[in-house]
Amino acid sequence: MRITLRKKEERGHLKTAAVDASAQAVPRAVKARKNWRLVRKHWQFYLLVLPPVLYIVIFKYLPIVGMQMAFREYNVRDGMWGSKWVGLHYFVSFFNSPLFWNIFGNTIEISVATLIFTFPAPIILALILNEVRDGFFKRFSQTVTLAPHFISVVVMAGMIILFLDPRNGLLPQVLGWFGVPSSNYLASPAGFKFVYALSEVWQHAGYASIIYLAALAGINPELYEAAKMDGASRWKKVLHIDIPGIALVITILLILQIGELTAVGFEKILLLQNPINQPGSEVIATYVYKVGLVSANYSFGTAIGIFNSVINFILLFAVNGIARRVSGNSLW
Amino acid sequence: MVKRHGIRETTGDRIFMAVIYAVLAVVLVVLLYPLLHILAASFSSSQAVIQGKVTVFPVEPTLLAYKTLFENKLIYVGFGNTFFYTIVGTILQVSLTILLAYPLSRKEFVGRTFLMMAIVLTMFFEGGLIPTYLIVRDLGILDTRWALIIPKALFVWQVLISVTFFKTTIPEEIYESAQLDGCSDTGFLRRVVLPLSKPIIAVLVLMYAVANWNSYFDALIYLQSSDLFPLQLVLRNILVMNETAHLSPAVVYQMRKLQGLSDLLKYALIVVSSVPILVFYPFVQKHFVKGMMIGSLKG
């Protein structure tokens, strides 16, 4: 701001280009000196951030640098920094492995199924809760919808296994009331993604709806007043005020969710896996765990992990680009 | 549109509201039924459980499952360890989060933009499972209690929430007058910021504590000794891996005697392990909601 003002003055006096350059250089030197004074005065800030910064360097950045071991043939003696360089060897052997297309396909299928079910559910729930009159019932509903979020993933997996038990589980029992024959959903590779996605909706839709409720609460009340004057029905208000009012939040969350598409719920998938559903439930992340850690193929596992991150990045950029074109809203 | 009833609702609106309430009622039943079913099953007889007779009321009520459960050491060890990891972990996480977030919220902190970017970047770029594991191993903390505490001493998202909170709630005037009075930055943090930050500290404690209480994967990869196992790993072995033999030999003997006790025990285990959080949570719900709101302000 200050610089632009000064430039205008200078233009008025018809200064030469050389003077212009020096005029810019002076504030930079002044700024550096001012910064140095600030650093000396507020040295305690640097002391405070030292422990957390140390943590971030060791546990966040060191592993990123450590990813170069995907290009080495890891052995215990030389460690992750000194083992023999083998280039793309492990990437090539992953792409050529007979399991590659199966695992890759499962990852995409489970992610897409999860997105399709988990993305709209919280939006609908928030729109519904937003219509309910304030009072006990509303508070009760919010408490109940939020509660499953706090169940641990282990307990959740245990519940799913118990509920889907074809002999005496809850789901076959309830389906029986409606005359649907029971089936062992956890023993079906094709059914796995639905078990996974629907249980995600059950557990997290309430929690995810909070952000939309916040966005709905932030809509300008004058819009509702105006709609009332025009005699709009409640349905019309939802359609023409609520949904456009949260469209930006919807876009942002959609982009973010697609950006971590292949990262979904690996801990839960690992827990729900069994030898029978494995052809439909083995995803990149569980494979990394099994091959990389359990079988101690560290380099191979790291290479697959990198492949996973690269896919996420491509998706994030692609979706962001599409969103910008289509709706004008995007992350950057 | 032609009708101008003013305050009175139209028929269309009434039908709309009826549909809203009906859908919400169905949602609530779908959410509550499984939870009540587990509670009921855990108090029922193993015969009733095995035959799938339980709905939301206990059938042939008995406390057998809980008695058997509390007879075995594994559960106590698990609870004890989980309490340790949750308490020590949360204290460390909240402290580090504030130590990092407070300077980041001050514009006098030269280099904060760079540091902020470096931190946000780690949300998108991750070293991944194996490099992290190897670093934990190289630090020599594998199979120690530290392995469950130090590698997750800080969550980036929580730091961002805290920065937003500090920026928006600590009045600039107080900082300036404290500076004039010669108050140091650590002094200001201790005497002014912390007392004003109870809401964000509550949010942080809750978020971290729940995450610590519920986590199992760290324990799975970093721990070998069963006396260090947190509750969630014990649960995983019983509920998911079906290693019911983990529960003392006496139980295995009883299991043969009473077929189906194993399923019954699982229901009781789910109740015992989740009740502390589910009972606690309605009281702190508003803090969670607040945390999400502060977070969304940022985005």
pLDDT, tens digit (0-9, with 9 covering 90-100), for A165-224: 888 888 888 888 888 887 888 888 998 999 999 999 999 999 899 889 988 988 888 998
Structural domain that includes position A259? 91-327
Q: Which of residues A87, A115, A146 is at a domain's end? A: A87
pLDDT digits (tens, 9 = 90+) for A136-171: 999 899 989 999 999 999 999 999 999 998 888 888
Per-window interface: A 252-271 vs B, CB < 8 A: 252, 259, 267, 270-271
In Å, how far is B86's CA from the nearest CA of chain A? 14
CA–CA distance, B163 with B166 (Å, rounded to integer): 5
Q: Are residues A266 and A154 in the same domain?
A: yes
- With a cut of 80, say whether residue B18 has pLDDT above it: yes
Query: DSSP string spanning A74-109?
Result: --TTTHHHHSEE-TTHHHHHHHHSTTHHHHHHHHHH
pLDDT digits (tens, 9 = 90+) for B82-120: 999 999 999 999 999 999 999 999 988 998 999 999 998
Instruction: State the CATH number of the domain containing residue A212.
Output: 1.10.3720.10
Q: Is A168 in Cβ contact with B50 (below 8 Å)? A: yes
Among residues B21, B15, B66, the alpha carbon closest in space to that of B270 is found at B66
Q: Are residues A201 and A313 in the same domain?
A: yes
Q: Are residues A80 and A140 in the same domain?
A: no
- Please report whether residue A332 resides in a domain: no
CA distances from A153 to A108, A210, B232, B273 (A): 21, 21, 9, 12
Mean pLDDT, chain B, rounded, equals: 85
pLDDT classification of A272: cutoffs 50, 70, 90 = very high
Q: Are residues A316 and A244 in the same domain?
A: yes
- Please report whether residue A296 resides in a domain: yes
Residues in chain A: 332
Report pLDDT for A145: 93
Q: Are residues A81 and A120 in the same domain?
A: no
Per-window interface: B 92-111 vs A, CB < 8 A: 96-97, 99-100, 102-104, 106, 108-110
Report pLDDT for A30: 85
With beta carbons under 8 A apart, name residues in chain B contacting A260. none
Higher pLDDT, A77 or A26: A77
Q: Are residues A96 and A78 in the same domain?
A: no
Q: Is A147 on the interface with B (CB under 8 A)?
A: yes
With b for 16 or more beta-carbon neighbours within 10 A and e for fewer, the B135-164 pattern comes to: bbeeeebbebbebbbbbbbbbbebbbbbbb
pLDDT classification of B252: cutoffs 50, 70, 90 = low
Per-window interface: B 241-270 vs A, CB < 8 A: 263, 266-267, 269-270
Q: Is A131 in Cβ contact with B20 (below 8 Å)? A: yes
Mean pLDDT, chain A, rounded, equals: 85
- Please report whether residue A159 resides in a domain: yes
- With a cut of 80, say whether residue B298 has pLDDT above it: no
pLDDT classification of A26: cutoffs 50, 70, 90 = low
Domains of chain B with bracketed CATH: 11-62 (no CATH), 73-246 (1.10.3720.10)
pLDDT classification of B35: cutoffs 50, 70, 90 = very high
pLDDT classification of B259: cutoffs 50, 70, 90 = low
Report pLDDT for A312: 80
Are the C-beta atoms of residues A160 and B44 closer than 8 Å to each other? Answer: no
Q: Are residues A97 and A2 in the same domain?
A: no
CA–CA distance, B157 with B151 (Å, rounded to integer): 16
pLDDT digits (tens, 9 = 90+) for A168-177: 888 888 888 8
Per-window interface: B 15-74 vs A, CB < 8 A: 16-17, 20-21, 23-24, 27-28, 30-35, 37-38, 49-52, 55
With beta carbons under 8 A apart, name residues in chain B contacting A169. 52
Query: DSSP string spanning A101-143?
Result: HHHHHHHHHHHHHHHHHHTHHHHHHHHHHHHSPSSHHHHHHHH
Q: Are residues A171 and A242 in the same domain?
A: yes
Q: Which of A72-76, A285-289, B260-264, B266-270 has the lowest mean pLDDT?
A: B260-264
pLDDT digits (tens, 9 = 90+) for A4-21: 333 333 444 444 444 445
Report pLDDT for B65: 84
Q: Are residues A232 and A306 in the same domain?
A: yes
Q: Which of residues A87, A115, A149 is at a domain's end? A: A87
- Please report whether residue A317 resides in a domain: yes
Could you give the ipTM of this predicted complex?
0.86
Total count of domains within chain A? 3
